[in-house]
Amino acid sequence: MTTAEAKLKERVKELTCLYQVSSIIVNSDYDQLETSLEAIVYCLKRAWRFEEATEVLLSVGGYKVKTNDFRHDMVNIKSDIKVFNKVEGQIIVGYPSEKYALSDFLDEEQTLLDNVSLAVGNLLERKQIRDSEAATTRQMERADRLHILGEITAGIAHELNTPLANILGFAELLKDKVKNNENRRDLEKIMDNAIFSREIVKKLLFFACEMPQEMGTVHLNPMVDNVLKLLGPSLQGKKIKLTKSFDNENIELKADTVQLTQVLFNLIMNAIYYSPVGGQIDVKIVEEKKKISIRIADQGKGIDTKNEDKIFEPFFTTKPTGDGSGLGLSVVHGIISSHKGLISHRPNTPKGTIFTVDFPKL
């Protein structure tokens, strides 16, 4: 028969465990959560009546920690871990089945286990809230930064337009008057560079959402087909396998045809550039109740985490010098913003990047 002293000893162990678990949770580092979960597992092991035989497994989300000799064939009791009222994992406490039975567990031990599971669930809820707030803050900071860059860029672009037009105009006038072939070639170089600079200014204005638009109903499927046809040689050159899928055959958007073509061209061209030889690119158009999503997935090296917030900034590029101006994605971002749309990216599986563009439906 269990003596009052033995019962008291068990209650003290349980209360000590709860206190230790609370302390671990209060002092948890959200970026090293596995360490805290491991400490909780060993607190539980010490709290059970047959401590030397107790083994514990805690599994939740992407975390899985256990004591050294835990086996799944043990006689055990368990408790679900709920995060925002959804079961995300469980804690299992077991004894070797060859020596112990389910009756060797105390009712109070099940209660303790339920309380610890509740505490772990609360910890994970706080981590998710923290992560969500941090992500929202980063998005707001990026939006503010892009807005400020847009205003600065628009000002610079407008200031450059007039001198570039003057350079181009006077160079053309001089070309008509100069007869020396060498001098004419020099003037042609001036004109070519002025035209190139004007195109950069145009792209900057796209980024700043200040280019005039001719909005109309656009049939998306044939537009995608036309862009893919234009990029056919590039796809063949790298032996890239292309898959495309449309939710239906007649998806329509209200958009500027030229600008939307530029968005598709830039995103697919980027996917080709970063894809390995023999890789695969997937183009998918999904029509939902309130939006139309264009998803372009490649199997390239992916976007480095340190560059995730920079890729839409003008003149930022990871391409070698001469391969890109760093304006492609910033132009894409500007056009999509002016169409009241959103662009996002996430890692592809097992490697690469998926760009998603969401447009509001007509």
What domains does the chain contain, in order, with CATH numbers?
A: 4-134 (3.30.450.40), 138-207 (1.10.287), 215-360 (3.30.565.10)
Q: What percent of the chain stands above pLDDT 70? A: 90
pLDDT value at residue 99: 92
Please report the pLDDT score of residue 149 as a whole number: 64
Answer whether residue 163 shows pLDDT above 90.
Answer: no
pLDDT of res. 249: 82
pLDDT band at 345 (very low <50, low <70, confident <90, very high): very high
Phi, psi of 79 (to 5 degrees): -145, 135
Whether 325 and 316 have beta carbons less than 8 Å apart is answered as no
- Please work out, in degrees rounded to the nearest 5, the angle formed at the alpha carbon of residue 254 by the alpha carbons of 251 and 258: 100
Break the chain down into helix, strand, coil percent, rounded to 5. Answer: 55, 20, 25
pLDDT in tens, 243-280: 999 988 888 889 888 888 888 988 998 899 999 999 99
**DSSP assignment of 96-116:** -TTT--GGGS-HHHHHHHHHH
Residue 234 has pLDDT above 70, yes or no: yes
In 3-state terms, what secondary structure has residue 41? helix
For residue 30, pLDDT beyond 50 = yes
pLDDT class for 9, splitting at 50, 70, 90?
Answer: confident
- The one-letter code for the residue type at 130 is R
Q: Where are the alpha helices (DSSP H) in 210-352?
A: 220-230, 232-237, 257-274, 328-338
Using the predicted structure, report yes or no on whether residue 90 has a pLDDT greater than 60: yes
* Max Cα-Cα span within the chain: 117
CA distance 264 to 284: 12
Instruction: Please answer whether residues 338 and 209 qualify as being in contact, where contact means their C-beta atoms are separated by less than 8 angstroms.
Output: yes
Q: Give the C-alpha separation, 206 to 333, whole Å.
A: 9
Residue type, 50: F
Query: What is the pLDDT, as a whole number, of residue 96?
Result: 94
245 strand-pairing partners: 284
- Do the beta carbons of residue 328 and residue 220 sit within 8 Å? no
Question: What pLDDT does residue 1 have?
Answer: 42
pLDDT of residue 6: 75
DSSP-derived letter for residue 348 is: -
Check if the beta carbon of residue 247 is closer than 8 Å to that of residue 287: yes
Q: Are strands 241-246 and 280-287 parallel, antiparallel or unpaired?
A: parallel
Q: Residue 84: left if φ>0, alpha if ψ -120 to 50, beta else—which one?
A: left
Comparing 6-10, 16-20, 70-74, the range with the smallest average pLDDT is 6-10
